[in-house]
């Protein structure tokens, strides 16, 4: 499978990062979202991140300009149908993802590979709603995409070897490393990471420690680059809750029960950095713990 053109669905935190790394690696990228404002914001982030790479001498100014020239945008989802590879990076809700794939299917080339950047949802189930479960895979990038080296490759029960081999090769062209996961809820990284974050929230909820003491303990005591509550805010508390719910529903084990405090924060709209408030308040110059 010769992959040269890539369609990315969603220009948010993950989608714009995915578009960035593919364009920098030489692929022609078409980026889509539901509003022009979202596309403009996504392109602005890509430019900012490429500029940062230039300032740090990771890439040259000419590389940046060529990469930006490889990215086109559209508000019409079906325009992506003629690309070789499509990566869905929309909201972590199965109904949204399924609707996107159902809209795309009638417009695809026969050889187009469909993938989802889902961090937890069943690849087999998503694939079953398309006309090509053999050419469907989980293609899970880590956040922030331009910085993080890992890509999780998740085969659905029907994914064929040719598709897996093609995507494994794509990961190598991006200069990243692939880790293969079986199709079980939350795969590898989030199966381990998000319950740890949930347990940190329980530790706060039960009064064992404050926000700052919990984060300090894990950074200095376990050598984590970010504390678990700081990381939760970075990921998005709504995303953390969505993944915990997938684990709880999919594995039926009480150890995956979302902490009530996490639920309450999401109900309040305190989703972390993106809303300026979560376990920290981001409205000032420095983040301040909210509890």
Same domain, 87 and 214: no
How many domains are contained in the chain? 2
The contacts of residue 153 (CB under 8 Å, 6+ apart) are 137, 138, 139, 140, 164, 167, 168, 171, 178, 179, 180, 181
Whole-angstrom CA distances from 67 to 82, 122, 186, 213 are 20, 33, 32, 42
Q: Do the Cβ atoms of 134 and 143 come closer than 8 Å?
A: no
Token pair belonging to 267: 């109900």
Same domain, 22 and 159: yes
Same domain, 55 and 121: yes
Domain that holds residue 249: 189-289
Same domain, 177 and 204: no
The pairing of beta strand 177-181 with beta strand 150-155: parallel
Same domain, 236 and 206: yes
Q: For position 92, what pLDDT does the model report? A: 86
Q: Domain holding 169: CATH number?
A: 3.40.50.720
Of 140, 181, 198, 248, which one is the catalytic site residue? 140
pLDDT, tens digit only, all 291 positions of the chain:
789 999 999 999 899 999 999 999 999 999 999 999 999 999 999 999 999 999 999 999 999 999 999 999 999 999 999 999 999 999 888 999 999 999 999 999 999 999 999 988 999 999 999 999 999 999 999 999 999 999 999 999 999 999 999 999 999 999 999 999 999 999 999 999 999 999 999 999 999 999 999 999 999 999 999 999 999 999 999 999 999 999 999 999 999 999 999 999 999 999 999 999 999 999 999 999 998
Of 122, 152, 181, 248, which one is the catalytic site residue? 152
Q: Which of 182, 213, 231 is the last residue of a domain?
A: 182
Nearest Cα residue to 47 out of 25, 68, 77:
68
Q: Does the active-site annotation cover 107?
A: no
- For the annotated binding site, the residues are 10-15, 33, 92, 97, 119, 143, 274
**Nearest 10 degrees: Cα torsion 74, 78, 81, 86:** 70
- Owner of token pair 């404002």: 37
Q: For position 1, what pLDDT does the model report? A: 72
Same domain, 23 and 59: yes
Q: Does the active-site annotation cover 20?
A: no
Same domain, 172 and 39: yes
Same domain, 108 and 143: yes
Q: Does the active-site annotation cover 152?
A: yes
- For the annotated binding site for NAD(+), the residues are 10-15, 33, 92, 97, 119, 143, 274
Q: Does the active-site annotation cover 140?
A: yes
Which H or E element spans position 137? strand 136-141
Q: Domain holding 237: CATH number?
A: 1.10.1040.10
Q: Which of 159, 182, 205 is the last residue of a domain?
A: 182
Of 16, 119, 120, 181, which one is the catalytic site residue? 119
| Burial label, 284 (beta-carbon count in 10 A; 0-12, 13-18, 19+) | exposed
Same domain, 118 and 255: no
Same domain, 152 and 217: no
Whole-angstrom CA distances from 152 to 158, 167, 243 are 17, 11, 16
Q: For position 116, what pLDDT does the model report? A: 98
Q: For position 186, what pLDDT does the model report? A: 93
Same domain, 227 and 125: no
Same domain, 109 and 167: yes
Of 116, 120, 190, 198, which one is the catalytic site residue? 190
Nearest Cα residue to 83 out of 1, 163, 7:
7
Q: Which of 120, 152, 182 is the last residue of a domain?
A: 182
For residues 95 and 97, give the distance between their C-alpha atoms in angstroms, rounded to a whole number: 6
């Amino acid at each position: 499978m010769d992959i040269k053109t890539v369609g990315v669905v969603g220009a948010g935190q993950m989608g714009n990062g995915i578009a960035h790394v593919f364009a920098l690696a030489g692929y022609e990228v078409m980026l889509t979202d539901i509003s022009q404002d979202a596309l403009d914001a996504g392109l602005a982030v890509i430019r900012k991140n490429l500029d940062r790479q230039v300032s740090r001498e990771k890439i040259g100014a000419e590389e940046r300009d060529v990469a930006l020239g490889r990215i086109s945008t559209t508000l019409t989802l079906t325009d992506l149908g003629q690309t070789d590879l499509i990566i869905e990076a929309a909201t972590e809700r199965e109904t949204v993802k399924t609707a996107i794939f159902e809209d795309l299917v009638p417009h695809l080339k026969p050889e187009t590979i469909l993938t989802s950047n889902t961090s937890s949802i069943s690849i087999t189930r998503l694939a079953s709603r398309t006309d090509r479960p053999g050419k469907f895979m989980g293609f899970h990038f880590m956040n922030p995409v331009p910085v993080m080296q890992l890509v999780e490759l998740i085969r659905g029960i029907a994914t064929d070897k040719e598709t897996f081999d093609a995507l494994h090769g794509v990961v190598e062209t991006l200069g990243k490393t692939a880790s293969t996961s079986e199709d079980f809820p939350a795969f590898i990284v989030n199966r381990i990471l998000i319950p740890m974050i949930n347990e940190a929230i329980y530790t706060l909820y039960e009064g064992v420690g404050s926000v700052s003491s919990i984060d300090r303990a894990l950074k200095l005591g376990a050598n984590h680059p970010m504390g678990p509550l700081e990381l939760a805010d970075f990921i998005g508390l709504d995303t953390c809750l969505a993944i915990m719910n997938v684990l709880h529903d999919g594995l039926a084990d009480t150890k995956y029960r979302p902490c009530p405090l996490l639920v309450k924060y999401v109900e309040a709209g305190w989703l972390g950095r993106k809303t300026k408030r979560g376990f920290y308040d981001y409205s000032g110059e420095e983040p301040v713990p909210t509890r």
